[in-house]
Amino acid sequence: MINLPEILKGLAESRPIFHSEADFQFSFAWYIQQQNPNCSIRLEYKPESQKREYVDIMIRYDESVYFIETKYKTKELQIEAQREAFALANQGAGDQGGYDFLRDIERLERWVKEDKCSKAAAIFLTNDYTCWKSRENDNTIGAQFRIWQGKRIHGNLNWTGGADGSKRGREGSINIQGSYTLDWKKYSSQAHTKNGLFKYLIINVGNI
């Protein structure tokens, strides 16, 4: 059994910050491999032979196959951590990041249902507090794709309103079969530093 919160807790001790999503993905997979040397791990694994679809991380462990999707969105931060310099960009666009994360969940649900994997999970890591901090009376067109603390995600999710740049390349609706209550956890913190708090969100599909 792979315990994702424990893995992230251990990873945070040596890697409290990442340069990019690819850096996070590789470091996360490598840490799992170190802790579980008998498992087999692949990055950018293609579970479908006829479709151009990939999962970020595939893990074979005992008799189980795990699919894990990762997201890493940042707010501007320049800092040195573990004797390494980091210059994170302000990526913004919380509705776009939320849309992509929820699309991952929709795809993972389908793969579990189709027996492409035994269990699956989507992980979102960020230092952008607007991702987890709710806002009253959100009337933006991407309100349904926000992934705030305590929000319940279920059913058909859509953009509301007219044309907007946020929708470009993300026009379709998202249908979430399961019901998930979002619960953000602390990953790491650079004390007394603006945007130095990192939190993560895990959505389990198939009881990983």
Q: How confident is the model at residue 66 (pLDDT cuts 50, 70, 90)?
A: very high
Mean pLDDT of the chain: 90
Among 39-53, 151-165, 194-208, the range scoring the smallest mean pLDDT is 151-165
**pLDDT given for residue 102 in this prediction:** 96
Say how far apart CA 65 and CA 111 lie, in whole Å.
Answer: 11
Task: Evaluate if residue 208 carries a pLDDT over 60.
Answer: no
Whether the predicted pLDDT of 172 surpasses 80: yes
Band the pLDDT of 138: cuts 50, 70, 90: confident
- Coil, strand or helix at 24: helix
**Domain residue limits, the chain:** 4-205
pLDDT digits (tens, 9 = 90+) for 77-109: 999 988 899 999 998 767 788 999 999 999 999
Provide CB contacts within 8 A for 167, sequence distance 6+: 141, 159
Question: Can you tell me the mean pLDDT for 173-179?
Answer: 94
The beta-carbon contacts of 4-12 under 8 Å, at least 24 apart in sequence, are 4/68, 4/121, 4/123, 4/202, 4/204, 4/208, 5/185, 5/202, 7/31, 7/32, 7/35, 8/123, 8/187, 8/200, 10/35, 12/187, 12/188
pLDDT band at 116 (very low <50, low <70, confident <90, very high): very high
